[in-house]
Amino acid sequence: MNARNTKHILGLFLLGGLITFSSCSEKQSKKTPQNNRDITVSGTMDAELTAPPFVPKPTKDRKATKLKVDMEILELEGELVDGVQYMFWTFDGSVPGSFIRAKLGDEIEFHLKNHPDNKLPHNIDLHAVNGPGGGAESSFVAPGQEKAFSFKALNPGLYVYHCAVAPVGMHIANGMYGLILVEPEEGLAPVDKEYYIMQGDFYTEGSFGDRGMQEFSMEKAINEMPDYVVFNGNVNSMTGDNALTAEVGETVRLFVGNGGPNLISSFHVIGEIFDRVHVEGGDLINENVQTTLIPAGGAAIVEFKVDAPGTYTLVDHSIFRAFNKGALAMLKVSGDQNEEVFAGEVYEGIYLPEGGAIQKMPTPKNADGKEEIKATSLEERITFGKDVYNRTCVACHQSNGQGIAAAFPPLAASDYLNENVERSIETVLFGLSGEITVNGEVYNSVMTSQGLTDEQTANVLTYIYNNWDNKAQEVTPEMVSKIRNQ
């Protein structure tokens, strides 16, 4: 080995040393879970907890602290959609459970209470925990018991928590999940609006919309065939008057989780592009994203500026889940139109492709051979019919039956309906296409067959006939059956 070579090798050694040193210092400047253990805490505070769709105030520049979280498990009867009851198991009485907002380095003292009226033991597994079971073993509580455990938040990010008592899938399927955010030291950048949304799949003995108390179906859960896929535990949790709101020009941040237990969410906002996505709730930022995948037991933070007024629809883009199983929410944006961003309607006409035959929805079978709950009075028929209307008809014919000009005829004070009840029944059963005249206006669009049972058809028509200045009359399932079979 000559001197020159020695020098060369020495140079390589030095270079190697430099590389090692610089990558080491880079690591140190970016905190790791290891050195996050050294973040000291000062003082104590009670965590602000919020029910969805709201989130607690940002931690901003507050220092790491001893954060006390108090949660109560409640087994509660609630609704999946109007008229459909379900026994939810919840953290703090909501699905998803309360949102927890912590800071990197916080020492979290977690108190879990199981209400004495509950029937079952529960616990909590927080994905933000570094430790066995995410706290599950330390937090196992029987009804009427309270447990406490503590952990240090070592990793920033958005994490799912859930119950992990066997059968785990069943506890999650009944609504036992939520989100905990661990903000980085400097906090998240300020935005104008923040909301909390969590998807979940539900498995009931009956089919979607079957009235009455619905039991959990273990068979459907194992087969991963949910009847409901919803945001925040209810089909209408964020629609109509419950819609999320923002103003034109505001930046909206959504903390989106997926409790599962089974399905992966293809989260999308119709009419928006996510400016920034914290992929899987972690540090990685992706920009200009149309749809982001949220795994079961995972989360994402999405941010977007709203540029044009109107109603934006949040969906799982596995789209039958959105329009047939409930995975749909709304964001209403108010403010002035900005023509440069969105010019709105520039042309309107009827487009009917050749042979535009009426599509038929499958004729429903009574769910799993279970007896359909039947209305026993005119009053009940109207009430049941209203639920069918709100699930099936409202998108086209609108909430007060006013219809949409030039597209969908009004059902309110409708001469077409009031003239001929048999024709109305036929329309709901078999659909309708071609030109019709309603209250002097010509309509030429397509209505699909709605695939309702005789009972549902009778109920919805009775609701329509007994509202909005129509000729009050009852449509019975017998009248429907006669027309279906003729």
- Shortest gap between Cβ of 205 and Cu ion (angstroms)? 20
> Closer to Cu ion at the Cβ: 95 or 322?
95
Measured CA distances, 156 to 253, 281, 363, 374 (Å): 17, 9, 50, 52
- Shortest gap between Cβ of 474 and Cu ion (angstroms)? 45
User: Could you give the residue numbers annotated as active site?
Assistant: 122, 125, 127, 162-163, 171, 176, 268, 287, 291, 317
> Closer to Cu ion at the Cβ: 203 or 208?
203
Instruction: Give the range of 4-12, 51-59, 168-176, 278-286 binding Cu ion by CB under 5 A.
Output: 168-176
Site for Cu ion in 245-264 (CB under 5 A): none
Q: Does 165 bind Cu ion (CB under 5 A)?
A: yes
Site for Cu ion in 105-124 (CB under 5 A): 122
Q: Does 412 bind Cu ion (CB under 5 A)?
A: no
* Helix 378-392 / helix 454-465 crossing angle, nearest 10 deg: 100
> Closer to Cu ion at the Cβ: 110 or 463?
110
Among 23, 187, 165, 27, CA closest to 101: 187
Instruction: Give the range of 173-181, 402-410, 434-442, 475-483 binding Cu ion by CB under 5 A.
Output: 173-181
- Shortest gap between Cβ of 97 and Cu ion (angstroms)? 11
Alpha helices, DSSP H, located in 178-217: none
Q: DSSP labels for 421-469? A: HHHHHHHHHH-EEEEEEETTEEEEEEE-B----HHHHHHHHHHHHTSTT
Instruction: Give the range of 159-167, 239-247, 324-332, 424-432 binding Cu ion by CB under 5 A.
Output: 159-167
Q: Does 162 bind Cu ion (CB under 5 A)?
A: no
CA distance 50 to 304: 22
> Closer to Cu ion at the Cβ: 161 or 408?
161
Let me know: does 168 contact 136? Beta carbons within 8 Å.
no
Number of residues located near Cu ion, criterion CB under 5 A:
5
> Closer to Cu ion at the Cβ: 259 or 409?
259
CA distance 331 to 243: 6
- Shortest gap between Cβ of 189 and Cu ion (angstroms)? 35
Measured CA distances, 68 to 56, 109, 164 (Å): 14, 5, 21
320 burial type by CB count under 10 A (0-12 exposed, 13-18 middle, 19+ buried): exposed
Per DSSP, the three-state class of 225 is: coil
CA distance 120 to 187: 38
Partnered with residue 68 across adjacent β-strands are 46, 109
- Shortest gap between Cβ of 127 and Cu ion (angstroms)? 16
Q: Does 126 bind Cu ion (CB under 5 A)?
A: no
- Shortest gap between Cβ of 258 and Cu ion (angstroms)? 18
- Shortest gap between Cβ of 174 and Cu ion (angstroms)? 8
Q: Does 163 bind Cu ion (CB under 5 A)?
A: yes
> Closer to Cu ion at the Cβ: 124 or 425?
124
In degrees, rounded to 5, the angle at the alpha carbon of residue 61 between the alpha carbons of residues 55 and 64 is: 85
> Closer to Cu ion at the Cβ: 152 or 171?
171
Measured CA distances, 33 to 103, 156, 184 (Å): 13, 9, 12
Q: Does 171 bind Cu ion (CB under 5 A)?
A: yes
CA distance 429 to 409: 17
- Shortest gap between Cβ of 326 and Cu ion (angstroms)? 23
The binding track of 175-204 with respect to Cu ion, each residue x by CB under 5 A or -, is -x----------------------------
CA distance 263 to 242: 25
Instruction: Give the range of 14-22, 164-172, 394-402, 404-412 binding Cu ion by CB under 5 A.
Output: 164-172
Half-sphere exposure of 173 (CA within 13 A, CB side): 23
> Closer to Cu ion at the Cβ: 233 or 409?
233
Per DSSP, the three-state class of 283 is: coil
Chain contacts with Cu ion (rule: CB under 5 A): 122, 163, 165, 171, 176
